[in-house]
């Protein structure tokens, strides 16, 4: 049960087939199949509780499926040492918190040991330290490299965590709601950083979870829509990110627009909201009859 070497650099980075996940007798995921190839950038979309984070934890070799197969970087889950396999993935979890008030640069370096704190007596090589500095610069964080974690804004933490996830040079980057809690400027900077990263590393594959279409980077190539733990649609964005499918996915009429810069915006179609006492056309109430009679009399 060991990964004997670094996973091969060719073939799909992720392959899930007929995956089911059952907890407490309840299907959290059912009939999920997905193949992610190098250079593809997937969005996992769905309403609250649809199963997005659960699926991401399967794809990140954190959880095992109850049925079906999951292959991560060509290795079948259940037949490999998942701890070692996880060290070849970049997993950005906004809830990650370093052990102690570490500086940004040290947090980024813990991406190599996949730990919450620096490992005692471990030191990065010169190349690894240079790589940490390059990633910190790429994410626009050089001016905060020596700042301690508790003093960072949420947006700065998000960018530091992406740099950390990239330290082991992963072929696959998993991002769980990376823009949660960011203000407008921080969100836009984060999305620009993700676009730049994808442009610079052509073979990197990413899977990003969100329920906000406005939080999708323009470089998103594919999407999977989840509804109640099942796949509603999956494929290239042009086929999946449509008003009709998004409306079904979120169980609400939505108009989806893709703008010239490649980003998406979703607007809920206006649906009539009835308040107590409102007059609904085609119906009548005793109150209406009284006022109609009153109008007739006064005319």
Residues near ligand ATP, by CB under 6 A: 23-24, 28, 46, 48-54, 211
Nearer to ligand ATP, 49 or 236 (CB): 49
| Shortest spacing between CB 2 and ligand ATP, in angstroms | 27
Nearer to ligand ATP, 27 or 258 (CB): 27
**Among all chains, which residue has been given the structure tokens 């989806």?**
256
List, in order, residues 6 or more apart from 22 with CB less than 8 Å away: 28, 66, 67
C-beta of residue 80 within 8 angstroms of C-beta of residue 2? yes
> How far apart (Å, rounded) are the C-alpha atoms in residues 35 and 14?
6
Is the alpha carbon torsion for 9, 14, 16, 17 positive or negative? negative
Q: List the structure tokens of 297.
A: 């009399």
Nearer to ligand ATP, 24 or 126 (CB): 24
| Shortest spacing between CB 230 and ligand ATP, in angstroms | 12
Nearer to ligand ATP, 52 or 131 (CB): 52
Nearer to ligand ATP, 23 or 143 (CB): 23
Q: Count Cβ atoms below 10 Å from residue 63 Cβ, excluding itself.
A: 19
| Helices 154-166, 126-138: inter-axial angle, 10-degree rounding | 140
Give Cα separations from 8 to 22, 62, 79, 85, 171 (angstroms): 31, 20, 16, 12, 10
| Shortest spacing between CB 59 and ligand ATP, in angstroms | 12
| Shortest spacing between CB 82 and ligand ATP, in angstroms | 17
Nearer to ligand ATP, 54 or 93 (CB): 54
| Shortest spacing between CB 147 and ligand ATP, in angstroms | 29
> How far apart (Å, rounded) are the C-alpha atoms in residues 159 and 135?
10
> How far apart (Å, rounded) are the C-alpha atoms in residues 120 and 102?
14
| Shortest spacing between CB 227 and ligand ATP, in angstroms | 10
């Amino acid at each position: 049960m060991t990964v004997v070497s670094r996973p091969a650099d060719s073939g799909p980075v992720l392959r899930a087939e007929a995956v089911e996940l059952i907890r407490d007798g309840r299907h959290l995921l059912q009939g999920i199949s997905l193949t992610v190839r190098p250079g593809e950038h997937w969005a996992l979309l769905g309403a609250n509780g649809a199963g997005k984070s659960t699926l991401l934890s399967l794809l990140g070799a954190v959880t095992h499926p109850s049925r079906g197969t999951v292959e991560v970087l060509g290795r079948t889950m259940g037949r490999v040492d998942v701890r070692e396999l996880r060290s070849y993935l970049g997993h950005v979890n906004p809830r990650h918190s370093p052990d102690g008030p570490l500086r940004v640069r040290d947090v980024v370096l813990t991406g190599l040991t996949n730990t919450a704190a620096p490992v005692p007596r471990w030191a990065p090589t010169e190349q690894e330290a240079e790589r940490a500095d390059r990633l910190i610069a790429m994410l626009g964080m050089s001016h905060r490299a020596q700042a301690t974690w508790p003093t960072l804004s949420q947006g700065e933490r998000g960018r530091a965590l992406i740099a950390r996830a990239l330290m082991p040079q992963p072929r696959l980057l998993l991002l769980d709601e990376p823009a949660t809690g960011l203000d407008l400027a921080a969100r836009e900077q984060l999305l620009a950083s993700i676009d730049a990263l994808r442009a610079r590393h052509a073979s990197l594959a990413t899977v990003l979870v969100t329920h906000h279409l406005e939080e999708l980077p323009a470089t998103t190539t594919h999407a999977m829509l989840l509804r109640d733990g099942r796949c509603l649609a999956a494929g290239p964005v042009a086929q999946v990110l449509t008003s009709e499918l998004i409306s079904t996915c979120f169980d609400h009429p939505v108009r989806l627009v893709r703008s010239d810069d490649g980003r998406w915006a979703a607007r809920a179609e206006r649906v009539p909201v009835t308040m107590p006492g409102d007059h609904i056309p085609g119906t009548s109430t005793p109150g209406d009859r009284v006022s109609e009679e009153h109008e007739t009399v006064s005319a």
